[in-house]
Every structure is written in C-alpha cells, then in structure tokens.
Structure 1
Amino acid sequence: MPEHRVLVTGAAGVVGKLMRPRLIRSDRILRMLDVRPLEPAAPGERVELLTGSVTDPEVMASACRDTDAVIHLGGISREDSWERILEVNIAGTQTVLEAARAAGVPRVVLASSNHSVGFRRIGEAGPDGLPADSSPRPDTYYGVGKAAMEALGSLYHWRFGMDVTCLRIGSCFERPADVRQLSLWLSPDDCARLLESCLAAKEPDYRVLWGVSANTRSVVSLREAAEIGYESLDDAEAFAGEVPAGVLPEFLGGAFCDTPLGQSNPL
C-alpha cells in the first residue's frame, strides 16, 4: 500500500490536538508542526514532530518536502492587532502555500472560519442555510485574515493548479458551549471525516465549504461539502440539554461582531 505524508500546521492548537489521533491511518505519516512543543509520539504512532513557525519560509520549505498534502490549521485563533493578523494569518498563509507550491505538494486544506462571513445575518439565505461560498463579510481583523486566506487559496489554485479547499469552520470542540454553537458546532469526529473527504477529492479544484456537523439547528449549507463525500454523523442537539438558555445572535459571528478591533479576545 502506498504511503502518504500529510503535514498539519498548528498541531498544538485546539483543532490540531483533536485531529492528531483521528487522522492516524496505517498508510499515512502525520508530520506535525507548531511553534509550541508537541506531545511525544505514543508507541506505534506514526508521526514526525517539527517545531517552527508558518511565517518562516525555511521552516515551511523543509516541512513541505516529500509531503503529499498540507492541512493548514496554524495561526492566531482569535482577534488580535492588525500587525499580528497580517504577519501570522495572512503572510503566514502565503508562506505555507508558496512552500507547498515550490515542493510540488498537490493538495492543501486551509482552515478558514465562520468569521470570514461573520456579518452575514443568521438565516438570511432561507431554509437551506447560508451557502458555503457566500462572499466575505468579515467581523474582525481575524475575519479579514480568514477572507484573505480564502483569496490566497483561490490564487494558488487558479494560477498553479493546486487542489485547495477552504473550510469555514464553525466551532470545533468536544461539546457545544452555547446556543450559537448548537447551530455551528463541528464535532471532532466530523471534522476528521470532513478532512478525509478533502484529502480524497478526486478532481483538483478550489472549494469553499462549511465545516459544521449536521446540526438540527444548522443555519448553513452542507450541500457543497456533501458533493465531495462528506457525511456528518453528529448533531449538536444531543447536547442541547446541557447548554445554557439563550437566543441566537443577529449575526453569524456572534460576540466577534462586538469585539473591539485589534483587541485580543477569548475563543
């Protein structure tokens, strides 16, 4: 069986930690990269652990060498100063894509966010939910960074033929924490299923997909993700009884829409 190597940036982050055990396969080596220390490999775990920043061209050139795909989760995961968002999330994404291009990596998955369209009104698209490729309407500098990530992914597909999928992730945690997340939750298992669908897509393309589970209260469309084989098996409604009472915010981005620009905020 051919062996494949998949590079995962941001491997010490929330989603990176959740994905590490879920992306293990007998024919795959996971190459994990983060600026922070990573947990040592468990017995039998086929991983390569790298320390470095996505903003460093030399680090990324080395990380992309002999790699079949990149899952780019690295970056600042909340609102921050414009300078930091520009350096890490925007320029860092370009560094990742350019290193992948130079190394001949054919496929990249970019972790975008619902905050790239955070000022879309919930339910504005009707009963089928907000389409995955709705034009950007970011709610923060962080959201602008994710919109720029999507634009860079488009550039590298159309100019260089790279297969690029941008995942507008809702909220990927073990459990939904509030009413908004009952609509936008992406279970860790479903996140892994979605990533596997992205890695197995047959035809090179540029795609923007929603990264959510098939939630009863979903406000976004999973039609586009289903077209590449994604099938969600989870629903945030299973945790509805544990979630504090509340109402959906007006805008998709929730509290991010009220966050002062440039000020670091909690997840």
Structure 2
Amino acid sequence: MRILMTGAAGKVGTMLRPRLAREGRILRLSDLAPLETGENEELVVADLADPAAMAEAMKGVDAVIHLGGQSREHPWPDIVRANMDGTYVLMEAARQEGVQQVVLVGSHHAAGFHTRPADGTELPDYAFPRPDTLYGVSKVVMEALGSLYHDRFGLNVTVVRLGTCNEGSADTRGLATWISPDDLTRLLEAALTAPGYHVVWGVSDNARRWWSLEEAKAIGYVSQDDSESQAPALIAEFGEPDLSEPEHDRAGGMFSIRELGQAW
C-alpha cells in the first residue's frame, strides 16, 4: 500500500512518519521543503497548488493523508493559494488517479467560535462551521471540498478537526484539546479504512475533553491517552484554568480574539 502524505516536513508529519510505518506500506512524502527519507519512504517535492506536480505525486497512490498547506494565519492570498487551491488540486488529482481513500487533516479553528455547551454536554462532531480566522475559513473550505468529492465522485473522505498535537500539552488549555501523536496515528489508521464522509474531532479521550468523540469512535478510533497525567505540573505552573475565559471556553481559544488576527 502506498500512502501520499502531504506536508510531510511539518511538525505533525515529522511526528507521524515513524508511527505510520508498517511492513508492506510505502509512505510517499510530499512537501516544498526537502527532507531525508527513511526505509519504505519516497520523496516528491511538489507545490500543492501545481496541478501537474500533484498529478505526478498521486501516481500509484492508494490513499492520501493531507497535512500540507499554510499552517498559521496569513494574508488572504497566501491562505487561498496554499489551503484552498491546494486542497482542490489535491482532491482533483486523487479523483483522476482513482484514489478512493482521503484523510484531510483540518483544524478546530474551522469551528473556533463555538463555546462550551452550557448544559455540560459535548460539542457535537458536526458542529456547524464557525471559523475564528482566515486560516479557519480555509479549513471550512477543506471540509466542503471533502463533502463534494464524496457525494459527487464517491471518494471516502474523513476530515479531522485537529486539536493540539504535541508530545505533551504545553499549557492548561491543552488538558482539554490535546491529542497525543500516538492517538492521532490511531485516528488516521481508522480514517484510512472508513467508508463514506466523516468530520471528526482530533482529540485524545482526555478527562477534561469537551469535544465529542462519537463520530471518531464510529469509524473505529480508540483513544489510549489522556492528558490528565500532565495536569499537576501544568496547574502548578499556570494555575487552575478559568473555564469562562476565551482560551478555555471557545473551541479556537485565543485565536477567537480579533486582535490576534492578521490581515483583517
């Protein structure tokens, strides 16, 4: 099996590569940045928005994990080219090559203005898009493209509204939003075989989690990690989180505060 991973040189791609390695599996790594390949890895240096380059990168591929694009808030033209045009070109290349399984790694910033449900329930899997940034808007477009290519062309597409993926949480917000690299790998493995179209929250089953995992569980994801073991040290450093503050009350955290945006 050959899996195309875009954005392979980025932080998340770097964490995932050794975890996704399997006997009989080839990871075809795509990025604008050069990187060293390991055993059962191939490298394709390609611009996501270049149709010819992506068509070449897609040749002989069985599945796609799409991590590539602009990962931070940037001026609108940059966001459009890297994230919107890039995702469209990727999906079209997958369709033309006959690839049936696509995992689009989106972001919780597609729904960043949602707040904790007042009744203590979880934020639903398909919470209506409420982007908190131009970057978040591009992830809404990603979700829409995934839906279109499933409904019109029959591709199996899972969109992951990714939370905070690091080896460990850097702050108390992450006690709710963190997903371990191991859990993200488990989620992607489930998505690589899931039929249909799905939007799932990319989060570990943390004790302080408030984003639903029902849809992720429905496609076969079983979280094995929980941020709570990190809580004592983080609370000692930062204090107990005030859940009424935007950092903890809004899905997008501090990115939902306008003053932090760029190019408005």
Q: TM above 0.5, one fold?
A: yes
After superposition, what is the alpha-carbon deviation per residue over 1:136-168, rounded to whole angstroms, capped at 9, x for unaligned? Answer: 000000000000100010000000000000000
- Out of 206, 212, 227, the position equivalent to 2:218 is 227
Structure 1 residues 1-267: aligned runs within 5 Å: 4-41=1-38, 45-124=39-118, 126-201=119-194, 204-243=195-234, 244-245=238-239, 246-248=241-243, 249=246, 250-260=249-259, 263=262
Unaligned runs of 5+ in 2: none
Contact 2:65 2:103 in 1 (8 A): yes
Deviation at 1:78, TM superposition (A): 1.2
Distance 2:258 2:96 in 1: 38
Flag the 1:178–1:53 CA change in 2: closer, same or farther, 3 A. same
SS at match of 1:179: coil
Measured in 2, the distance between the counterparts of 1:78 and 1:122 equals 24
Q: CA–CA distance in 1 between the matches of 2:218 and 2:251?
A: 24
Inter-partner Cα distance in structure 2 for 1:96 and 1:241? 43
Residue 103 of structure 2: SS of its match in structure 1?
strand
Q: CA deviation at 1:261?
A: 7.2
| Deviation string, structure 1 residues 156-215 (Cα, Å, up to 9, x no partner) | 0000000000000011111111121110101000000000001122xx311000100000
Rounded to whole Å, the distance in 1 between the matches of 2:88 and 2:156 is 15
Q: Percent identity?
A: 52
- Aligned structure 1 segments of 4 or more residues deviating by more than 4 angstroms: 259-262
Count the aligned residue pairs.
255
Residue segments in structure 1 that go unaligned for 5+ positions in a row: none
CA distance in 2 between partners of 1:81 and 1:235 (Å): 36
CA distance in 2, matches of 1:242, 1:80: 33
Superposition TM-score, scaled by structure 1 size: 0.92
On the 8 A contact 2:255/2:261 being kept in 1, the answer is: no
- Alpha-carbon distance, 1:260 to partner: 4.2
Cα distance in 1 for partners of 2:53, 2:201 equals 30
Q: Which moved more, 1:31-40 or 1:133-142?
A: 31-40
SS at match of 1:225: helix
User: What do you get for the CA RMSD once the two structures are aligned?
Assistant: 1.4
Q: How far apart, in 2, do the equivalents of 1:22 and 1:72 lie?
A: 16
Deviation at 1:127, TM superposition (A): 3.7
Deviation of the 1:262 alpha carbon: 5.7
Tell me, yes or no, if the aligned pair for 2:166 and 2:179 is still in contact at 8 Å.
Answer: yes
Contact 1:179 1:247 in 2 (8 A): no
